Amino acid sequence: MKEKDQEKTTRERIFEAAVMLFAQKGYHGTSMRDLARAVGLKESSLYNHFPGKSSLLEAVLAYQLEGFQAASALMEEMEETGPVFNDPVELWIAGAGAFMEKLPPLTETIGLILHNEMFLDDQCGRFVLHELFRVRKELTEKLLRRMHAQGLIRYCDFTKTAAQYVHMLHGLEMENRLRRLEGAGVEELQARLMEQIVHFIDGLRNKEN
Amino acid sequence: MKEKDQEKTTRERIFEAAVMLFAQKGYHGTSMRDLARAVGLKESSLYNHFPGKSSLLEAVLAYQLEGFQAASALMEEMEETGPVFNDPVELWIAGAGAFMEKLPPLTETIGLILHNEMFLDDQCGRFVLHELFRVRKELTEKLLRRMHAQGLIRYCDFTKTAAQYVHMLHGLEMENRLRRLEGAGVEELQARLMEQIVHFIDGLRNKEN
DNA sequence: GTCTATAATCTGATAGAC
DNA sequence: GTCTATCAGATTATAGAC
Give the bridge partners for B153, in sequence order: B205
Q: Are residues B26 and B123 in the same domain?
A: no
Domain span including residue B33: 1-50
Structural domain count, chain B? 2
- Tell me, yes or no, whether B15 and B36 share the same domain: yes
CATH number at residue B1: 1.10.10.60
Whether A62 has its CB under 8 Å from any CB of chain B: the answer is: no
Helices (H), chain A: 10-25, 32-39, 43-46, 53-81, 88-102, 107-117, 122-127, 135-149, 158-181, 186-202
**Helices marked H in chain B:** 10-25, 32-39, 43-46, 53-81, 88-102, 107-117, 122-127, 135-149, 158-181, 186-202
For residues B15 and B115, state if they share a domain.
no
Is the separation of the CB atoms in A116 and A57 below 8 Å?
A: no
Q: How does residue B207 score in pLDDT terms, banded at 50, 70 and 90? A: confident
Query: Is B69 in the same domain as B6?
Result: no
DSSP A142: H
Domain boundary among B50, B74, B90: B50
Q: CB A112: neighbour CB atoms within 10 A?
A: 19
Most A CBs within 10 Å, among B21, B25, B113, B160, to test the A interface: B160
Residues A8 and A107 in one domain: no
pTM to 2 decimal places: 0.96
pLDDT, tens digit only, all 209 positions of chain A: 445 567 899 999 999 999 999 999 999 999 999 999 999 999 999 999 999 999 999 999 999 999 999 999 998 888 888 888 999 999 999 999 999 999 999 999 999 999 999 999 999 999 999 999 999 999 999 999 999 999 999 999 999 999 999 999 999 999 999 999 999 999 999 999 999 999 999 999 987 55
Cβ-based burial of B109 (10 A; exposed 0-12, middle 13-18, buried ≥19): middle
Q: Are residues A26 and A75 in the same domain?
A: no
Same domain, A90 and A161: yes
**A34 lies in a domain?**
yes
Residues A186 and A117 reside in one and the same domain: yes
Is B56 inside any structural domain? Answer: no
Does residue A46 share a domain with residue A66? no
Rg (CA), chain B: 20
pLDDT per residue over B51-83, tens digit each? 999 999 999 999 999 999 999 999 888 888 888
- Determine contact, residues B205/B88, Cβ cutoff 8 Å: yes
Best of A89, A168, A196, A199 to substitute, by most chain B Cβ atoms within 10 angstroms, is: A168
B207 domain-assigned: no
Note whether residue B198 is domain-resident.
yes
Q: Is A16 found in the same domain as A91? A: no
Residue B128 near chain A (CB below 8 Å): yes
Are residues A72 and A149 both part of a single domain?
yes
Q: Is A56 inside any structural domain?
A: no
User: Does A105 fall in a domain?
Assistant: yes
Query: In terms of domains, do B77 and B38 share one?
Result: no
Q: Residues 40-99 of chain B: which lie with beta carbon within 7 Å of strand C?
A: 41-45, 48-49
Q: Is A21 within the bounds of a domain? A: yes
Residue A25 lies in a domain: yes
Q: What is the DSSP string of B131-161?
A: IIIIHHHHHHHHHHHHHHHTTSB----HHHH
Contact A119 B126 (CB under 8 A): no
